[in-house]
Amino acid sequence: MKRREFITLLGGAVAAWPLAARAQPPDRVRRVGVLIALPENDPELQKWIAAFQRGLEKLGWSEGRNLQLDYRFAPAAARAPALAKELLALHPDVILAFSTPVAAAFQRETRTIPIVFIGIADAVAQGFVHSLARPEGNLTGLTMYEASVSGKYLSMLKEIEPQVTHIAFVANPKTAPYYEVYLQGAKLAAPSLGVEAVFIPIENDAANIERAITAFARDVPTGGMVVVGDSTTNAHRDLIISLAARHRLPAVYWNTFFVAAGGLMSYAVDWVNEFGQAAYYVDRILRGAKPADLPVQAATKFVTALNIKTAKALGLTVPAGLLVAADEVIE
């Protein structure tokens, strides 16, 4: 089955779920554990959580009446295993896990409690499911990227800075083991764009990050960066943005909140939509469906954001095509 046909099939299935869920939910209170690899006070995250809760409410689940939501937050990936155990000790009916380290922590602890993941890059390659169509386990959910998205990152950088020759993918291998998905896709797309894709490994340490990016900027005066989403780059977003500005490195980021903080541009999953879709998975499972029978859905909605002020500071002219394509423009 072609990818486009498969996504269409998944989209049709998701759209039909509310129709199958019109019956009133069970009277007893059901428990949903939620573990997210971001700080609780992140304003963007609060929008995502609100979308998840709205989705549940539309399907008949109301916190305090027939639903208990237990939230935990792990902005540092090292905290994920302990928080996963803490949530599992509450005996939830289903778990919502955001990010690869979080999903992996739950997968190590249970093969029986249903887990809905979100924010996973290539769920098959990382071993979370057997296939998108047939998960064959206690995990299912939404996978955010496939390798081809790296080509989009490269083309955006080449469009805004035609002189760029080397593009570095920045990530911590310990907290983003999936970086290879992005890098492999980039290496396939790079020759047609006349660039070379490289990898900058970083650690969860400000001094290490500064050394790594500074060394790249020194050695490659015509370089650019792709900042991969993981707990390390999220925790050090302000530092990474400031280093990009200091060394005049055009960069594309995995999430719009980097652009709001001063980053140049981003190409990101529409996380409000993703969290809303996650509610349908949780609803189906609470009504008796098994994760193994619920196909994994690939992300279909993306948001492009541009920071015009940052572009000017870097001496870049934003092409009209890129500006028109942008969903969010920060002046």
Shared fold status for 3-144+270-300 and 149-268+303-330: yes
Contacts of 96 (CB under 8 A, 6+ apart): 32, 33, 34, 35, 52, 116, 118, 278, 282
Residue in this structure with the two tokens 């896709």, named with its chain if needed: 185
Q: Which pLDDT does position 181 carry in this prediction?
A: 85
What is the per-residue DSSP string for 276-306?
HHHHHHHHHHHTT--GGGSPPEEP--EEEEE
Cβ proximity of 113 and 88 under 8 Å: yes
64: how many CB neighbours lie within 10 A of its CB? Answer: 8
**Structure token pair of residue 263:** 């980053």
Using DSSP, state whether 70 is helix, strand or coil.
strand
pLDDT of residue 40: 92
In the prediction, which pLDDT does 296 show?
95
Q: Please tell me the pTM assigned to this model.
A: 0.85
pLDDT of residue 126: 86
**Strand (E) or helix (H) holding 139:** strand 139-145
Q: Which fold has domain 149-268+303-330?
A: Rossmann fold (3.40.50)
Q: Low-confidence residues of the chain, pLDDT below 50? A: 1-24
The CATH code of the domain at 3-144+270-300 is 3.40.50.2300
What is d(CA 41, CA 100) in angstroms, rounded to the nearest whole number? 21
Place of tokens 């199958």: 20
Which pLDDT belongs to residue 26? Answer: 55
Closest CA to 284 of 11, 93, 104, 4: 93
Positive or negative, the CA dihedral 182, 188, 193, 199 is positive
Q: Where are the domains of the chain?
A: 3-144+270-300, 149-268+303-330
Distance CA 12, CA 34 (A): 26
Is residue 148 within 8 Å of residue 306, measured between CB atoms? no
